[in-house]
Structure 1
Amino acid sequence: MDLLDTIDKNNLPKHLAIIMDGNGRWAKKQGLLRAFGHERGTKSVKEIIKSSAKLGIENLTLYAFSTENWNRPKLEVDTLMKILINSLKKELPTLEKNNIKLNAIGNLEKMPKSAQKELIDVIEKTKNNTRMTLTLALSYGAREEITNAIKQISDKVKNNIISIDAIDDSIINEHLYTHNLPDVDLLIRTSGEHRVSNFLLWQIAYAEFYFTEILWPDFTEQNLYEAIISYQKRERRFGKTSEQIK
């Protein structure tokens, strides 16, 4: 039986997030430069976006470039930016054909102007698409995101726009990059690492985690289905007891 046939379409994660890890190690195993791993990883990105949309995932967020990634060698950073720009140009027709809306979160002002321009262009051209929202986390760091939210809220309290007693989860959510997205239901990380690496720390409070040894360039549609099936076998209690859930 095909794995797809075993998936319950009524129990899909509304928000799937993926830490795409292992491009460099994949290239090293092939005896290639890290850049080749990043290039090969774009094929997995394309496959997983299409598979997620086909499955019925409403929100897919990909951790593409972290705030810490700016500390990598300049050549690698420049290569990643070029790959991003080329991918956005190349994949726009695919996004439009599949009715996918592009979104981006992070400190986008740090991105090269050419990357910002291409990103804004694709976001604008896909803004009315409704099948799935694809969010790219670029120059993203959760601690920076939360710090910025605290600063914004503090400023509003200072100027009597928000009462300090009114601050709750919803107020904090409104000031995060992801204010237009639901909390993450399933977080996948490839390459065998078991950490979240400063990714969506607030939004993954009740997410299910799925770790796999597979390096990102080797992650396929079938591997995605395996992660979804694992998710569907779990009991999500959100602090309640099993009896209450049932």
Structure 2
Amino acid sequence: MAKEKLSIVKIGGNIIEDEQSLNDFLKLFVNLKGKKILIHGGGKRATSIASKLGIASKMVNGRRITDAETLEVITMVYGGLVNKNIVAKLQALQIDAIGLTGADINSITSEKRPIKDVDFGFVGDVKKVAHHSIDRLIHANFTPVFCAITHDGKGQLLNTNADTITSQVAIGMSALYETSIYYCFELNGVLKNINDKNSVIKHIDSNLYKELLEQGIIADGMLPKLENCFDALKNGVKTINMGNTSMLTQENNNFTRITL
């Protein structure tokens, strides 16, 4: 018997920061057919509010160092301001959304990242997704909206990369559903030429991925994103889509689809 489909959609900071972009995206999300989960970050807003509070944001290789003070700001911004704003907007669009961190219903457990070259502080690497608990919400006709916070099961909240949460939730839910991921960001997809916004590579499988790596076309920030994607595909996720929010419509096919 074929599994029911579940879409897991992740939005980045540029959409969250722009009120009109966020409103437009949420209308597309609401119209996406079938069961769905929304996952969001909020790093730009957290940096801005930390700055207003006189807390400097420390970054190493594009990744945030999360000390105790920063964790407080992230919890307020991701779990409070950004999450509840999105949930309220979804309710206005007649979607019964429920905002969550990984601590809620023990849904996403992580462990604190071990110190190697850099001490990232209170940053978590996902270890377990409670897919049956999340599914209970879905079966009660709630749409889960996860922010980028998990917990260690011992009372400690942890800042966790939203792309990683997306792939790990999709892997966990693939035990019950045919899962597809939509990574929404400002580009049209994975580009052959970073200076040409229309040079979208429409389909990447593992063979083409190797070629693109060798040619240096996939590099920098796109590298961890695609590593994450292939890890998810090898662990049960059906398809992954990357592009701007219009890929959620039936009309747009100008985005990147990633399969094994």
Name the TM-score, length of structure 2 as normaliser.
0.39
Bigger-Rg structure (1/2): 1
Name the TM-score, length of structure 1 as normaliser.
0.41
Which of 1 and 2 has higher RCO (CA within 8 Å, sep 6+)? Answer: 1
Greater share of residues in helix: 1
Greater share of residues in strand: 2
